[in-house]
Amino acid sequence: MNSDKYIFKKKLNSRRKSKRKLFIESFFMLTSSFFLAYIFYVIPNKNLLLQNFFIYLNNSFLLLKDLFINLFQISVVLFILALPVVIFIFLLGSLMRFTRIAKRKNKMLNFK
């Protein structure tokens, strides 16, 4: 019961990393930082992209708004197209139930 407090106790690595493993990890971190710095250097027109960022963001929000408005209209049209089918199924089901009810009453009247 006491060990319930420490659910992940056995999952943790309590050993320290060796110097070799730490050296390899630091080497990979250094090379990845140089690689990311190179990618940052290669990107053209950084200033222009940063200046126009809010314009692009505003245009994206306007496009998303138009998308959701159009999706609503499409869903309304699909609802209008599916509604007659649902109405027909409900009418058919209710008529079949009425006929079953009427047949049961007739059978019960015949037995008495």
> What DSSP line would sit under 9-49, residue for residue?
TTTS--SPPPHHHHHHHHHHHHHHHHHHHHHHHH-S-HHHH
> Is residue 13 over pLDDT 70?
no
pTM more than 0.85: no
What's the pLDDT score for residue 52? 93
Give residue-wise pLDDT tens across range 67-87.
988 999 999 999 999 999 999
- What is each CA distance from 66 to 10, 39, 70, in whole angstroms? 53, 35, 6
Rounded to an integer, what distance in angstroms lies between the CA atom of residue 106 and that of residue 94? 18
Give residue-wise pLDDT tens across range 45-67.
989 998 999 999 999 999 999 99
Rounded to an integer, what distance in angstroms lies between the CA atom of residue 17 and that of residue 20? 8
